[in-house]
Amino acid sequence: MNHETQGLFTHPGESYLVFDGKLVKAADDTEYASPDVISFTNNGLMHLVSNIKYQLSDQEIESVFHPGQATTMLGLLKYPGDDFQKSVGLNQLWYKDDGTTAHLQNDIGFAARQQYIIQKPDLKGTFSFRVPLKHIFGFCDGYDKVVYGFKHQLTLVRKGDNDTVFGNNAADAGKVVLTKLFWFAPMCFQRLNKNLCCIKQLSKKQVSQSGIEGFNVTLFQSPKREHSPGNSRQNQLRKNLAG
């Protein structure tokens, strides 16, 4: 997925992925019924992929292998207690289990996810979740600056559904059908005179920090390919992101 936004101020720290799709029976793609004891694992969307990589102008900024396991371990530290999962956690499919088996009475977390995906929708199994990039990438978590002058690229490597679909032995095997996956990245727009001033600074290869819409802004020039070896370009990008 690409964001061709070199001429815009983009805020990667506040961007997110939207997953739309449906959980269906693997044998014939039919819907489940409300009593079926099946749903997703906690943080199951991250288990749909084996690697997620973020690049700026073709240079890797961060790559996460086994994001299901990695983001779950970090999430247990970032979202302690029950407040997060009982408020907005389910928006990104985060509701921790109370046990190790799929059970509607003995596992509150599984029951909440099963109700959200199987029982509540008019079309059983349909879902739409929003996962913030700060849940996935360390550099996004706490990064409060907007970026100008780079192409943003996000690469996800799909894997099987075994680590995502979770049910009891009586439920038919399931599979995940993704109907839409898109990346939303907030952009900051300025008054024309302010924008022209910033562009002028960029053309002179100056670095400026100011406030736009409540955010700190770092302006920097995209490195020229013919003068910068790959490693030094990547180090420069990381230095710019670090602010």
Same domain? For 170 and 226 the reply is no
Compute CA distances 218 → 124, 143, 154, 173, 243, whole Å: 46, 11, 21, 49, 7
Tell me, yes or no, whether 111 and 146 share the same domain.
yes
**Last-in-domain residue among 159, 185, 211:** 185
* 13 and 129 fall within a common domain: yes
Query: Whole-angstrom Cα distance, residue 158 to residue 131?
Result: 16
Q: What is the pLDDT of residue 238?
A: 47
Which pLDDT score, from 0 to 100, does residue 69 have? 97
pLDDT at position 124 is 97
Residues 99, 197 within the same domain: no
- Contact of 30 with 174, CB cutoff 8 Å: no
> Do 216 and 118 belong together in one domain?
no
Instruction: For residue 152, give the 3-state DSSP assignment.
Output: strand
Burial class (CB in 10 A: 0-12, 13-18, 19+), 148: buried
Same domain, yes or no: 31 and 147: yes
Mean pLDDT by 10 residues, the chain (243 residues): 69 92 97 97 98 93 96 95 94 95 95 97 97 94 80 94 96 97 80 52 48 39 40 48 49
Residues 199 and 162 in one domain: no
Residue 53's beta-bridge partner residues? Answer: 63, 155
Do 101 and 196 reside in the same domain of the chain? no
The verdict on 120 and 203 lying in the same domain is no
User: Domain check: are 152 and 199 in the same one?
Assistant: no
Q: Choose among 174, 42, 37, 170: nearest CA to 104.
A: 37
Number of C-beta neighbours around residue 226 at 10 A? 5
Backbone angles phi, psi at 228, to 5 degrees: -125, 115
Together in a domain, 7 and 52? yes
Task: Choose one of 185, 217, 233: the last residue of a domain.
Answer: 185
CATH number for 101: 3.90.249.10
Question: Tokens representing 240?
Answer: 């710019």
Domain boundary among 185, 206, 231: 185
Find the domain containing 181 and state its range: 2-185
Q: How far is CA 74 from CA 64, 150, 153, 186, 224, in A?
A: 12, 28, 23, 24, 36
pLDDT at 63: 97
Query: Residue 110 corresponds to which tokens in the numbers above?
Result: 């599984």
Q: What is the pLDDT at residue 141?
A: 84
Q: Parallel, antiparallel, or unpaired: how do β-strands 16-25 and 174-184 relate?
A: antiparallel
218 and 158 inside one domain: no
Please count the structural domains in the chain.
2
Query: What six digits make up the tokens of 183?
Result: 């990346």
pLDDT at 156: 97
State the CB neighbour count (10 A cutoff) for residue 24. Answer: 19
